[in-house]
A and B are shown apart, each in its own frame.
Chain A
Amino acid sequence: MGVKQTVYIVDDEEPVRNALCFLAKSDGLNFESFDSAQAFLDSLENIGPGCLLLDVCMPDMTGLELQVALHERKAEIPVIILTGHADVATAVRAMKGGATDFIEKPFDSEDLLERVHQCLSGEAKRRDSLDWRKQASERLARLTRRELEVMEGLVAGKRNKQIGEELFISFRTVELHRASIMEKLEANSLSDVVRIALVAESED
C-alpha cells in the first residue's frame, strides 16, 4: 500500500467530532474533520484516498443528502454512516445510497476502528485493482491484431497446434507470436497472460 489514506470525519456536533478525531489520532490514522456536509462538499477537490465517517442527523444538509451529492459529482469515496437513531428507513436509504457501512451511536470504539480499517483496506484494494487493470489494458494495447488473436486462443486454453490450424498459420509461427506476447505483456508464464487478459476484459 503505497499512499497513506485519510479518515474524513463529518459531524456537526463538536464534542463528538473532536472525540472521533482523537480516536483516529490515537490509532495512528490520518484524519480531517468538517462541521457540516456543505463544508466537506466545498473542499471535495482536495480530498485524497481514504474514507468518510458521516453523521446522518445534521441541519441544512443531512448525511444522506451528502451521499446523493457525492454520487452526482462522481466522487468515489467509501462512506461509513453514523447515526444516533437507527430506524430501518434511514438504514435502507443509506445502504441504497451506496454506504459501505452503517454504525449506530453510541458505538463500540474498537469496533468502529476495526470497521474503519476494513473500509480503508477495501479501498486500498480497490485502488490497487484499479491500477492493475490500467496496466493490463496498456500492455494489451502493445499487441498486434494477430498476437491478440493468438492470445485469445491461449486464454481459451487451446494448444499451439490447434491455434495454428484455426488461424491458418504454422505451429512454429504460433510459438513466435506467443514469445512476443509474453514479452509485450511482461508475463512470466501463460497464467500471467491469462490474468492480464481477464483483468483487462473486466473493465467493461
Chain B
Amino acid sequence: MTIEKHIYDISSTMQPLAAEVSLSHSDNDVNTGGCVLLLNVDDKVRNLLSNKDLEYLYFDEVATRQQMFTNIVQMQNKVDVMVMGVQLKEPVGIAQRVHAINNDVPILILTEPERYEQLKQALIFTPFLSNNVTPWSTDALDQFADVLQETIQRKHKRRSYKKTIAAAQKRLGDVYHERPQVKHYLDRLLDHVPLGILNVDILGSVMGLNRFASQILNRTEREAIGTLLTDIFPESERDALHDLIAQCVAPARTRIPEVFDISETVGKIRHVEVMASSLVDSSGQLGATVILQDVTGRVCAEQERSRAEDALRVSEGLYRELVQTMSEALALTDEQHRITYVNDSFCNMFGYSSEDVLNKPLLGFVHEDDKEAMRECMSNPVQGGGVQRYETAWVTKKGDKIYTLTSPKRLFDPEIGYVGCLGVFTNITERKKVEEREKRHMMELAHVSRVTTLGEMSSQIAHELAQPLAAIAALSTGCLKMLKSETSDRDEIIESLTNISEQSSRAREVVLRLRNFVRNDEIQYTQIELNQLVRTVVHLVEMEARWHSLPVKLELQGQFPIAFGDRILIEQVVLNLVHNAIEAMQAVERQKRKLIIRTSNLDKRTLQVEVIDSGPGIDEENIKKIFQPFFTTKADGMGMGLAITRSIIDAHHGQLTASRNEQGGTTFCFTLPVDKREEASGR
C-alpha cells in the first residue's frame, strides 16, 4: 500500500457536511496513516520511529534545508507533520519559512531538555507562526510517537473542516465577510454583555472572546486566542467540557448548561456555568459559541447552605439522639393536644409503642382522678415565662397508675399563636407511693388520736347526749299522761311534741358530729370555712368547758377567706388544742380560767387560728419538746396529741407554734393556706 493511496482513501472518507464533523477523538482515528517529513533527525529518533506501531506512516527524510523546502512546495498539503532534529540550527527560523509556504503543516521541534524552555519562549514571541509548532524535549522521547500520531490526526481533521467550510462558503456566499461593520458592532456589543462569550474553532481552540469571558477565565485576549479552551479548564473538568461542546453540534440535542469549577487554573475560586451552541456560517461548521456565566457567588452560597444544612442535620441528629435517650419522658402535642412525638423514655414509662400513642389525645392517658384538672390546665394556656409543674396521675398500657411531675412548655408561633405543647415527665410514682404511705400512716395515727381524745371526753359526750334524751323521755311520758287524763290540753301536747322533735334532732346532730369525727376516711381536701369549723369544735367541747367552769371566748374575724384542707383533720387540730387548753387550766383557780379562740388573716394567703389559755403555761425547757412524739406532762398522756397535730398542719403546708403568754398561759397558733381559687378570685 502506497502512502499516496492511503492518504487519498482517508480524504475520500471525509464528508463535507458539518453535521458529521466531530471534535471528539474516535477510535478509528488512532491508526490514521500520514506522511512525516524528517529533517536532521539523529539515529535515536530514527530508531524510535521505526517502531512497529508506526509502520503505517510514511517517512520522508531530507538531508538539507533546500531539499526540504522543495519537498514542502512539491508535496503541498500531503505533508502531515514535520519533525526537526535536535541538531538543526535555527529551528524557529526554518519553521517560520515553512509556514510562510504552507502554514497548515504542523511542526514538531525536538530539543535538548535544557533548551526546551528557551525554545518555547522563542516560539511564543515569534510572529507568523500558527499554534501548531510544538517543541518537544528529548527526555520525553518515549511519548514522542504518540505526539506524532496525535498531531497527524489533528492535521487530518483540520483539513477536512477546511474542506467542509470551503464547501459551505461556496454554497452560501460570503455574507459574513461582506458586512464587516456589523461584525465590529456586534463585537463591541458583546464586550458589554455581562456574559462571557467566546467562539472556538472546530478543534476547540479559542478564536475570539469578549471582555467578560477574558475576565472570567483570567486570561488576556492574547493569551486566550489560539489555545484550546479545554486547556484553560482543570484536568478533571476537561472531558465533561469536551462532551458539552461536542454535544452542541448535534442540532437535536437540548442544551443543558453545566457548571465547572475552574478555580485550579484561574488562580482564584471561580465557578462558571457553560452553555455551548454551534457556530455555523455559510461555509459550514466553524466551531462553537460558548457562553460562560460566572456563578461563583451562587455556587459558594449553595455550598455554604449545604454545609450549614449538614451542620444543622448533625446538630438536629444530636438533639434527637439526646431527646430520644434522655431519662425523662418527653412528648410533643399539637394545638388540639394530640400527641405528635414521644421519646423512648415515654414509651418505656407508659408501656406503649410510639405508634400506639401518635395522633391520640394526650388526655386519654390521664388517670380519671386528674382528667378534670388536666382539661382545665389545657384550656387555659398561660403565656409567658416560668415553668409550672404539675403532679399528674396517668394510666399505663397495663392499667397501672403512675404519677409524674409534669412540666409543660407551651409553644407559640409569633404568627399562628398557640401551636402545641412540649411536656417533660419525671416519674415520681415511687416517691408518691412513699408519700401516700406516710399520709396513710398519719391518717391512721390521727384517727387513733381522735378516738383517744373522744375517749377522754366520753363522759362529756355522754352528758351531751343524755340531755336531749332526758328531755325527750320526760316530754313523751308527759304527753302520754296528759292524753290519758281528762285534763289534756291540746296546745300543750303539741308544744311538747315539737320539743321532742327538736331534742331528737339535737341528739342526732351530736351523733353525726361524733361519727364524722371518728370516721377514718381518706384525706379529702375541701374548702373550709374556718370560723364555722371553730364553732363546731366548740360545740363538742362545750360540755367539757362548762364542766370545768371555764368560759370560751370566740374572737372570730368577720369576712374570713375560705381555707383549704381536710375538714376532719383540721377539726381534730382545733379540738386537740382546745382540749389541751381546758386540761391545762384545771390547774388554776376557777376565776382565772379563760379560753380564747381567735381567727385572723396573717396575710393574703395565710389564715391563722390561735388558741389562748390562761393555764400555768409551759416552761422554756419543755416548750421546745412539746411537739416531739411521746413527750407528755400528763400523768396518763400518750404524748402523741401534739405530734399528730403538728404533722397534720405540716401536711396542710401550715405551721404550728407554741408560745408563752405575757400574762401567763400558753398560745398555740396554727396557719393554713387560703384556698387558691379563693385567692384567685381576689376576695
Which residues of A are interface residues toward B (Cβ below 8 A)? 13, 15-16, 18-20, 22-23, 25-28, 57, 59-60, 82, 84-85, 87, 104-110, 112-113
Contact = CB atoms under 8 A, between A and B. Distances in A.
A94 to B, nearest CB: 16
B546 A59 contact: yes
B477 A26 contact: yes
Nearest to A85: B459
B462 A26 contact: no
Contacts, number: 90
B499 to A, nearest CB: 7
A108 B463 CA distance: 16
B474 to A, nearest CB: 4
Contacts of A15: 467-468, 471, 499, 502-503, 506
Nearest to B469: A106
B503 A22 contact: no
B492 A22 contact: yes
Nearest to A110: B477
Given A19-B471, A19-B499, 12 more contacts: A15-B467, A15-B471, A18-B499, A19-B478, A19-B503, A27-B478, A57-B463, A84-B463, A106-B466, A109-B474, A109-B476, A112-B474
Interface stretch (B30-38, B82-90, B119-127, B479-487): B479-487
Contact of A13 (B459, B460, B467): B467
B570 interface: no
A123 B676 CA distance: 69
Given A20-B474, A57-B547, A85-B459, A26 B469 contact: no
9 pairs of A and B residues whose beta carbons are closest in the complex: A109-B477, A84-B463, A106-B469, A19-B474, A26-B481, A105-B466, A85-B459, A26-B478, A105-B470
A22 B500 CA distance: 12
Interface in B431-484: 459-460, 462-482
Contacts of B463: 57, 84-85, 105
- Best-buried of A20, A84, A109 by chain B (most CB within 10 Å): A84
A53 B474 CA distance: 13
A174 to B, nearest CB: 60
A16 B460 CA distance: 16
Nearest to A104: B466
A15 B503 CA distance: 8
A84 B461 CA distance: 9
B470 A16 contact: yes
B296 interface: no
B462 A84 contact: yes
A57 B499 contact: no
B477 A23 contact: yes
B24 interface: no
Contacts of B467: 13, 15-16, 84, 105
B475 A23 contact: yes
A88 to B, nearest CB: 12
B496 interface: yes
Given A15-B499, A106-B469, A59 B474 contact: no
B549 interface: yes
21 contacts: A15-B468, A16-B470, A16-B471, A22-B496, A25-B478, A26-B485, A28-B485, A57-B463, A57-B543, A82-B470, A84-B466, A84-B470, A85-B460, A85-B462, A87-B459, A104-B466, A105-B470, A106-B466, A106-B470, A107-B473, A110-B477
